[in-house]
């Protein structure tokens, strides 16, 4: 179960990062929402405080990897 | 913020980075590896630990009781038991210590017995100064890297002060960097990897700085604390509250005060204590025990636990009859929120508070921390060697680049070499001789690679060879293990060994792929430049 929650949490953080890559404010809000759901997955594994503590650096790492792999979204 | 203040911050950011860049890379790179050194890589490096789940508590009790009868009475006052969990020694170690020494030693003396955890055969016996035993314990590649990260093998206090100071400079660079690059959201995903190398490095520096800022700040702060606490903060606290008497301060706050020995016999029930600790904290691992006044009516037992639901390591206190007393932090039973904060600094720095997932996150973010000063230095050099009025000649630029590759790339190469060397040592060299190999192998290979930088070689080629050799060293681990060891990726029956062996192969392949990409990119760059010149 831990593995499933962690995988789901990471996938949601990837989605959140991809949404943040979009320039529109709607996608940024959605990104925040997805981040909150991802945090809930981490909380399910590690508990309230540790879950948030772990979700934040994981989001930072995934954001960094997204930036490295995909770069900035091209503007139309 | 006024532009003049920004300019000052930029200058501070640049010069702090330039002065400390190479040292910061060394500390951060080894730190990123050190996150995984205990217990994961240590278990991988020691075949004795491959098949081990836990040591039976009855056997530990039996060994302590038996060997206690073989040592003089005063050595039973303090017994330290290090369980083979990958956090301490690779063997089950029972150390009988006398604080006041004996007829042969005026300082702390010890009798130590080490057992193979697979069959409990006595492997090693020691009698002598306790400090000597601890200093000359068997090391391995992961432990060597871990110690190098802590004090750069410069010893204490110099090494600790240096790494602590580097933590402070990382903190300063992180804060000033955030002020300089204020357009955080705009630059969050700006990474133009198809542009020339200067632009790629510039973008990489910014995104690593922005995304990792929180992490870099935390690592800088906790690193500075860990480095400087015992050297500066402890004497300062002693000066303020105990008239400069550090021993008094330590005695006041020690987690394990010495009991008064009554000389009334009462068997210390270590078996029951170990069973009770596991029942109370089933997810945690007991890593060591300290037994004071063994088999005395006033005996006290302390167990150090790591993992489980607790964020930091915890200390369990039992009375000799097996009665549980209390659970406390490793600093002791000190009330107040400050101690809770202090307690958190260790797991925050080591990333060991929530299993392997967090350790991987810490290791990867740690690598970005290591690359940050390096990319910053490359930007600084590129800026001074370009434009209409460069302050750095092309020759000096190349020399600088070779110096960076020799020192930083050399470190990566020297570190990578340690792992295939570990496999060779495990299979070809007697265990008691291992310690003699790691230092020379690491420092001489690093030094040799640094000296190569003196030669007028093309720095692109130099980097490519460094990366290729690093890749080959990593890739050699799995085949060497397959050829020489009985416990390898496909036979160890241990997921950890399999994952580590295959990870080395993957990382090695990645290094070789990147080195090839680098050549292609360089060739493309040269072709593009030549085309531009033709057009002009």
- Helix H, strand E, coil C: the string for B231-274 is HHHHHHHHHHHCCCCHHHHHHHHCCCCCCCCCCCECCCCHHHHH
Q: Is A66 inside a domain boundary? A: yes
The whole-angstrom separation of Cα B123 and Cα B128 is 17
- Average pLDDT score over residue span B104-110: 94
pLDDT confidence band for B489 (50 / 70 / 90): confident
pLDDT in the model for residue B534: 41
Which residues, in sequence order, are CB contacts of A75 under 8 Å at separation 6+?
Answer: A23
Q: Is A42 inside a domain boundary? A: yes
> How far away is chain A from the Cα of B101, in angstroms, using its nearest Cα?
45
Helices and strands (H and E) in chain B: how many = 20, 8
Backbone torsion region of residue B155, taken as left when φ is above 0, otherwise alpha when ψ lies between -120 and 50, otherwise beta:
left
B528 vs B261: which has the higher pLDDT: B261
Q: Which residue of B357, B367, B495, B517 to mutate against A (max A Cβ within 10 Å)?
A: B357
Closest CA to A72 of B184, B213, B185, B188: B188
Chain B CB contacts of A64 under 8 Å are 207-208, 211-212, 365, 368
Check A60 against B215: CB less than 8 A apart.
Answer: yes
Q: For residue B289, give the H/E element and its range.
A: strand B284-292
pLDDT confidence band for B346 (50 / 70 / 90): very high
Q: How far is CA B348 from CA A57, B106, B218, B229, in A?
A: 11, 39, 8, 16
Check B207 against A67: CB less than 8 A apart.
Answer: yes
* Minimal Cβ distance to A60: which of B212, B311, B358: B212
Long-range contacts of residues B148-152, Cβ cutoff 8 Å, at least 24 apart? B148/B30, B148/B442, B149/B27, B149/B30, B149/B31, B149/B33, B149/B34, B150/B34, B152/B26, B152/B27
pLDDT confidence band for B533 (50 / 70 / 90): very low
Q: Which residue of B211, B343, B362 to mutate against A (max A Cβ within 10 Å)?
A: B211
> How far away is chain A from the Cα of B197, in angstroms, using its nearest Cα?
14
B330 vs B285: which has the higher pLDDT: B285
- Average pLDDT score over residue span B357-385: 95
pLDDT digits (tens, 9 = 90+) for B471-488: 999 999 999 999 999 888
Distance between alpha carbon B314 and the CA centroid of its chain, in Å? Answer: 20
Chain B CB contacts of A54 under 8 Å are 354, 357-358, 361
> How far away is chain A from the Cα of B394, in angstroms, using its nearest Cα?
29
pLDDT in the model for residue B524: 66
The whole-angstrom separation of Cα B362 and Cα B345 is 14
Chain A CB contacts of B212 under 8 Å are 60, 64
Q: Which residue of B189, B200, B371 to mutate against A (max A Cβ within 10 Å)?
A: B189
Report whether pLDDT(B433) > 80. yes
Looking at the DSSP bridge assignments, the partners of residue B324 are B318
Contact between residue B349 and residue B222 where contact means Cβ atoms under 8 Å apart: yes
Q: Is A12 inside a domain boundary? A: yes
Largest CA distance in chain B: 98
Report whether pLDDT(B529) > 60. no
Return the residue of A nearest to B215 by Cα: A57
- Alpha carbon dihedral A16, A21, A27, A31, in 10-degree steps, equals 20
pLDDT digits (tens, 9 = 90+) for A35-65: 999 999 999 999 999 999 999 999 999 999 9
Q: Which residue of A42, A64, A69 to mutate against B (max B Cβ within 10 Å)?
A: A64
pLDDT in the model for residue A72: 86
Q: Is A76 inside a domain boundary? A: no
**Cβ of A5 under 8 Å from any chain B Cβ?**
no
Looking at the DSSP bridge assignments, the partners of residue B78 are B97, B292
Contact between residue B150 and residue B167 where contact means Cβ atoms under 8 Å apart: no
Tell me which residues of chain B, numbers 415 to 454, contact chain A at a CB-CB cutoff of 8 Å: none
pLDDT digits (tens, 9 = 90+) for B50-70: 887 788 999 999 999 999 999
pLDDT in the model for residue B536: 35
Q: For residue B356, give the H/E element and its range.
A: helix B355-385
**pTM of the predicted protein model:** 0.94
Return the residue of B nearest to A60 by Cα: B211
> How far away is chain B from the Cα of A39, in angstroms, using its nearest Cα?
14
* Cis peptide leading into residue B498 (ω within 30°): no
Report whether pLDDT(B16) > 50. yes
- Average pLDDT score over residue span B185-211: 90
Check A54 against B193: CB less than 8 A apart.
Answer: no
Check B188 against A67: CB less than 8 A apart.
Answer: yes
Query: How many interchain CB pairs under 8 A, A with B?
Result: 61
- Average pLDDT score over residue span B173-179: 93
Q: Is A52 inside a domain boundary? A: yes
Contact between residue B234 and residue B246 where contact means Cβ atoms under 8 Å apart: yes
> How far away is chain B from the Cα of A29, in angstroms, using its nearest Cα?
14
Report whether pLDDT(B428) > 90. yes
Report whether pLDDT(B31) > 50. yes
Query: For residue A29, what are the domain limits?
Result: 2-70
B79-83, B333-337, B443-447 — which is least confidently predicted? B333-337
Check B365 against A60: CB less than 8 A apart.
Answer: yes
**Cβ of B236 under 8 Å from any chain A Cβ?**
no
Residue B299 in 3-state DSSP?
Answer: coil
Question: Between the ranges B166-180, B188-202, B238-252, where is the mean pLDDT highest?
Answer: B166-180
> How many domains are there within chain A?
1
The whole-angstrom separation of Cα B26 and Cα B145 is 11
- Average pLDDT score over residue span B205-232: 93
Q: Is A58 inside a domain boundary? A: yes
Chain A CB contacts of B191 under 8 Å are 67-68, 71-72
Q: Which residue of A57, A59, A63, A69 to mutate against B (max B Cβ within 10 Å)?
A: A57
**Cβ of B365 under 8 Å from any chain A Cβ?**
yes
Q: Is A75 inside a domain boundary? A: no
């Amino acid at each position: 179960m831990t593995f499933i929650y962690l995988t789901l949490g990471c996938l949601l953080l990837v989605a959140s990062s991809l949404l943040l890559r979009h320039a529109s404010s709607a996608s940024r809000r959605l990104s925040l929402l997805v981040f909150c759901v991802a945090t809930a997955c981490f909380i399910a594994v590690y508990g309230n405080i540790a879950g948030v503590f772990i979700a934040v650096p994981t989001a930072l790492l995934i954001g960094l990897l997204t930036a490295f792999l995909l770069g900035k979204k091209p503007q139309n | 913020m006024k532009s003049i203040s920004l300019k000052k911050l930029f200058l501070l950011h640049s010069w702090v980075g330039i002065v400390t860049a190479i040292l910061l890379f060394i500390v951060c790179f080894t730190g990123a590896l050190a996150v995984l050194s205990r217990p994961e890589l240590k278990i991988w490096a020691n075949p004795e630990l491959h098949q081990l789940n836990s040591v039976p508590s009855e056997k530990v009790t039996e060994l302590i009781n038996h060997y206690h009868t073989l040592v003089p009475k005063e050595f039973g006052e303090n017994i330290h038991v290090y369980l083979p969990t990958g956090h301490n020694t690779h063997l089950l170690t029972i150390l009988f210590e006398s604080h006041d020494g004996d007829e042969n030693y005026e300082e702390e003396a010890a009798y130590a017995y080490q057992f193979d955890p697979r069959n409990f055969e006595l492997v090693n016996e020691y009698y002598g100064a306790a400090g000597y035993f601890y200093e000359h314990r068997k090391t391995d590649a992961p432990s060597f890297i871990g110690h190098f990260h802590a004090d750069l093998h410069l010893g204490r206090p110099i090494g600790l002060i240096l790494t602590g100071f580097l933590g402070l400079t990382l903190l300063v660079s992180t804060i000033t960097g955030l002020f300089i690059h204020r357009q955080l959201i705009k630059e969050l995903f700006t990474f133009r990897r198809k542009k020339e190398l200067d632009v790629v490095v510039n973008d990489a520096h910014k995104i690593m700085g922005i995304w990792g800022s929180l992490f870099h700040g935390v690592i800088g702060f906790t690193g500075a604390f860990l480095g400087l606490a015992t050297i500066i903060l402890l004497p300062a606290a002693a000066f303020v509250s105990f008239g400069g008497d550090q021993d008094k301060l330590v005695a006041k706050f020690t987690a394990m005060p010495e009991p008064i020995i009554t000389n009334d016999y009462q068997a210390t029930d270590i078996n029951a204590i170990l069973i009770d600790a596991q029942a109370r904290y089933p997810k945690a691992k007991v890593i060591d025990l300290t037994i004071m006044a063994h088999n005395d009516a006033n005996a006290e037992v302390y167990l150090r636990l790591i993992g489980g639901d607790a964020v930091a390591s915890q200390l369990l206190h039992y009375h000799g009859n097996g009665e549980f007393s209390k659970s406390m932090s490793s600093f002791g039973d000190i009330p107040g929120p400050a101690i809770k904060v202090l307690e958190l600094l260790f797991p925050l720095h080591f990333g060991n508070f929530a299993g392997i997932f967090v350790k991987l996150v810490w290791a990867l973010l740690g690598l970005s921390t290591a690359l940050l000063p390096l990319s910053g230095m490359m930007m600084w050099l590129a800026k001074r060697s370009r434009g209409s009025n460069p302050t750095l000649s092309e020759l000096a630029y190349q020399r600088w680049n070779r110096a960076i590759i020799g020192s930083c790339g050399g470190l990566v190469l020297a570190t990578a070499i340690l792992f295939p060397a570990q496999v060779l040592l495990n299979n070809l060299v007697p265990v008691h001789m291992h310690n003699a190999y790691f230092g020379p192998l690491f420092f001489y290979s690093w030094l040799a690679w640094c000296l190569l930088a003196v030669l007028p070689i093309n720095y692109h080629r130099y980097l490519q060879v460094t990366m290729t050799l690093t890749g080959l060293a990593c890739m050699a681990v799995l085949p060497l293990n397959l050829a020489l060891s009985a416990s390898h990726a496909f036979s160890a029956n241990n997921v950890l060994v399999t994952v580590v062996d295959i990870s080395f192969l993957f990382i090695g392949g990645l290094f070789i792929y990147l080195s090839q990409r680098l050549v292609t990119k360089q060739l493309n760059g040269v072709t593009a430049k030549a085309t531009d010149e033709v057009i002009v």
